[in-house]
């Protein structure tokens, strides 16, 4: 006799399948996306997949893919690389510069070239203003780098307490090769900020303990830039390294973090200034390093057992940025 799955188990399975599709889309934004193939990845009916996706995500498959392409393009343009606007367009799935420019202006209200020039100028001004607030969340295109463990604190914004960028400028940055890692991940979709700390405490830590994973390495991955992506659609993955024989269940799924060359900086301090460490790395260190960020995920890597000092309240982690030659 077949037991009918509970609503909670059923929703967890839906979430896991949709997350696989979202991961695939992000890894293939430069290619045409086939709905039938995506349905197969999710193991859903090809006939019903588009309706299932739209119901779950609150936007159609086509709208989601277009939004992600434009958000990725805006991020690339703001990173100060030497690629042309056409190269950015092709790298994010647009077949011509004209089509890209029209779609970009419709979403962001300006041309890609204007976005790049005004963004870089603003970042230079912000980075040089030592002691000034790092930027408004509504307009800061690299706010993606300050999205984790601001426990009990709001996201960076004009009303927040200012912290001098020089507080994090003493970090040593190593260029090292990191091995590929097999991780189990739980995904949180919603605004970055205090909810992420609560997610780790209330969901991830108990799950790690019940699965005998409390001593394993943890990774925090913020996939979206909240200055580009609607807050209620931002994706954050809480990841825990797992052995080859580990079998995921429920909403948890398995993914492989790619290895390779990374810039790694060791952070130790109050969690609420971790965002400033990211800002210093991307605005100050990266432009003078002869390197640029590539398309692999950035993440924070830490040990759950030693990351938080109970006496000082300081958080320790390695900030890892995938890099390639400029």
For 183-224, what is each residue's pLDDT tens digit? Answer: 999 999 999 888 998 999 999 999 999 999 999 999 999 988
Torsion of CA 49, 71, 190, 194, to 10 degrees: 160
Report the pLDDT value the prediction gives residue 135, as an integer from 0 to 100.
37
pLDDT digits (tens, 9 = 90+) for 132-176: 443 333 333 233 233 344 433 323 222 232 333 444 455 889 999
Looking at residue 149, its pLDDT comes to: 42
Closest CA to 143 of 275, 22, 34, 263: 275
| Bridge partners for 173 per DSSP | 265
pTM of the predicted model as reported, rounded to 2 decimal places: 0.73
The DSSP bridge partners found for residue 318 are: 266, 301
- In this prediction, residue 124 carries a pLDDT of 59
Residue located via tokens 């927040």: 160
Q: Which residues of the chain have pLDDT under 50?
A: 1, 127, 129-168
* Eight-state DSSP code of residue 261: E
Task: Decide if domain 166-325 falls under CATH 3.40.50.620.
Answer: no
Domain ranges for the chain, please list them: 166-325
Question: CA 137, CA 151: separation in Å to the nearest integer?
Answer: 17
DSSP 8-state code for residue 200: I
Cβ atoms of residues 237 and 221 within 8 Å: yes
What was the pLDDT predicted at 143?
A: 31
CA distance 51 to 54: 5
């Amino acid at each position: 006799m077949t037991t009918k799955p509970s609503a909670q188990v059923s929703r967890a399975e839906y979430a896991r399948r949709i997350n696989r599709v979202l991961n695939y889309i992000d890894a293939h934004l430069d290619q045409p996306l086939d709905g039938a193939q995506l349905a197969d990845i999710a193991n859903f009916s090809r006939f019903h997949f588009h309706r299932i996706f739209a119901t779950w995500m609150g936007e159609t498959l086509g709208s989601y893919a277009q939004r992600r392409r434009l958000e990725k393009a805006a991020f690339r343009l703001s990173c100060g690389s030497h690629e042309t606007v056409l190269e950015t367009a092709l790298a994010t799935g647009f077949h011509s510069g004209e089509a890209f420019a029209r779609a970009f202006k419709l979403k962001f209200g300006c041309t890609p070239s204007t976005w790049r020039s005004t963004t870089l100028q603003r970042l230079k001004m912000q980075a040089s203003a030592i002691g000034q607030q790092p930027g408004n969340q509504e307009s800061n295109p690299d706010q993606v780098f300050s999205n984790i463990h601001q426990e009990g604190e709001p996201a960076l914004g004009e009303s927040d307490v200012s912290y001098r960028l020089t507080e994090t400028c003493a970090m040593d940055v190593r260029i090292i090769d990191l091995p590929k890692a097999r991780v189990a991940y739980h995904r949180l979709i919603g605004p970055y900020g205090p909810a992420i700390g609560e997610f780790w405490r209330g969901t991830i830590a108990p799950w790690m303990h019940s699965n005998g994973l409390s001593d394993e390495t943890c990774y925090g991955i913020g996939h979206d830039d909240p200055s580009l992506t609607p807050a209620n659609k931002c994706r954050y993955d809480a990841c825990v390294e797992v052995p080859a024989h580990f079998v995921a269940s429920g909403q948890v799924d398995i993914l492989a973090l790619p290895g390779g060359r990374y810039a790694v900086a060791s952070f130790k301090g109050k969690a609420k200034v971790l965002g400033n460490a990211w800002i210093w790395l991307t605005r100050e260190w990266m432009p003078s390093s002869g390197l640029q960020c590539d398309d692999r995920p950035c993440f924070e890597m830490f040990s759950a057992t030693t990351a938080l000092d109970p006496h000082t309240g300081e958080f320790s982690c390695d900030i890892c940025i995938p890099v390639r030659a400029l």
